Amino acid sequence: MRAATRAPLAARTADTRQRLVALVVGVVAASAGGLVLASAEGTLIDLPGLLLLVPGAIALRGNVFGAMGSRLGTAVHTGTFRLSARADGVVGQNLLGAAALSLLLSAVLGVLARITALLFGIAPTMSLADFVVVSTLGGLLASVGVGMVTVGLAAGSVRFGWDLDNVMAPLVSTLGDLATVPALVVAALLADRAGLTDAVGLGVLAASFVVLVVAWRTPLDEVRRIFRQSVPVLAIAGVLDLVAGVTVEKRLDDLLAAEALLVLLPAFLGTAGALGGILSSRLSTHFHLGLDDATPLPSRSSLREARSVGLLAVPVFVLCAALAQWASVATGQTTPGLGDLLLVVLMAGAVATVLVVLVAYYTTMAAFRFGLDPDTYGIPMVLSVLDLVGAFTLILAMLAVGVA
């Protein structure tokens, strides 16, 4: 009896340890990305509207590769995962699908960012070609690294016994922050160059159209299924992230006055998304394996998973504030002080954590009940809704504390 009791306890302890380590690594990586963002003050001023693009570009990496990681995690659990470079294998088809989605959706995000800037009266702003070039080239540059990490984590889970549901979402979503922010800054070097930028932008849009046609009609069943199911949900997710970007862009002056908040921004949004991603991945696996029922009222098992994720929120959000303060002081960035940063993070984090649980459960449950792949639908919607919610709660907390 004691051995039987200890086994589930040991499993839960291992889950908690894996999640905590992954979240800590993710927060450190996202804070590094935030530091790059805070240091790019001149670029943010010279290219108005660039900050609007940041949440969507960051989220797209997490959406595409987080969903890919979740699918690979399910393949590991069901015994169908094989590490192979074959184009018709599980890994090969997921990589091809992710590459096609990254190119197409990055270009679409650039177009939507320009439209969003016009609709919300953000002026002056970058041209359409600037948005497309920065979004697409920066996105592709970041996708190479994030894709390699995703496959490496899947292989490591088989080799070292990691549970991908615990480590994939926090590491992929927040390492996406680390890769995407510098990539956007590098890609911004090609912006605002008149004829060159226009030519590159036109080439990118033409390439995106070709990818759309080829991926939509490919004979590779898994690539076609991933692409067709992902495009609509990723487009909706992109719109949500752009609204989050509008919220942040309109507070650019406040963020530049307290640059520690810019350092904090990717880590806070990434942590909220990572917590939701962990819960969504875990529930998706349970639903696939028949270990839990996807019912409107969460089962005891689902509530236990939600509680274990929620308990991690406080220490990880506190770490976000502490790292933002330390990095800002160490690099000479302006900061409102550790006390105010902690207040902002804890106020915003409390609201975000409740919404993490609700969004993760009901999005994953609804996808499964409607016969859709919750790995493909759950992660993007969870991450993007939480980006929007996280941006709003962070700004409201800044106003409540008086640092904006």
User: Once rounded to an integer, what is the mean pLDDT over residues 112-121?
Assistant: 85
Q: Does residue 5 carry a pLDDT above 50?
A: no
Question: Quick one: the chain helix, strand, coil %, rounded to 5?
Answer: 85, 0, 15
Which segments of 120-163 does DSSP mark as H helices, in order? 128-160
- Going by C-alpha positions, the residue among 304, 61, 90 that lies closest to residue 169 is 61
Q: What is the 3-state secondary structure (H, E, C) of 76-122?
A: HHHCCCCCCCCCCCHHHHHHHHHHHHHHHHHHHHHHHHHHHHHHCCC
Tens digits of per-residue pLDDT, 226-239? Answer: 898 888 888 888 88
Q: Is the dihedral of CA 110, 112, 117, 118 positive or negative?
A: positive
Q: How far is residue 97 from each of residues 92, 156, 285, 355, 361, measured CA to CA in Å?
A: 9, 21, 21, 30, 26
Q: What is the pLDDT of residue 364?
A: 81
Q: What is the pLDDT of residue 4?
A: 41
CA dist 404 and 394 (Å) reads: 11
Q: What is the pLDDT of residue 15?
A: 73
Q: Are 285 and 153 in contact (CB under 8 A)?
A: no
Amino acid occupying residue 145: G
Residue predicted with more confidence, 165 or 129? 129
At 3, the pLDDT band (50, 70, 90 cuts) reads very low
Q: Does residue 348 carry a pLDDT above 60?
A: yes
Q: What is the pLDDT of residue 29?
A: 78
pTM of the model: 0.74
Q: Are 323 and 28 in contact (CB under 8 A)?
A: yes
Q: Does residue 280 carry a pLDDT above 70?
A: yes
Residue predicted with more confidence, 197 or 9? 197
3-state SS class at 180? helix
At 391, the pLDDT band (50, 70, 90 cuts) reads confident
Q: What is the pLDDT of residue 242?
A: 83
Tens digits of per-residue pLDDT, 49-91? Answer: 787 787 778 778 878 887 787 788 777 767 777 777 677 788 8
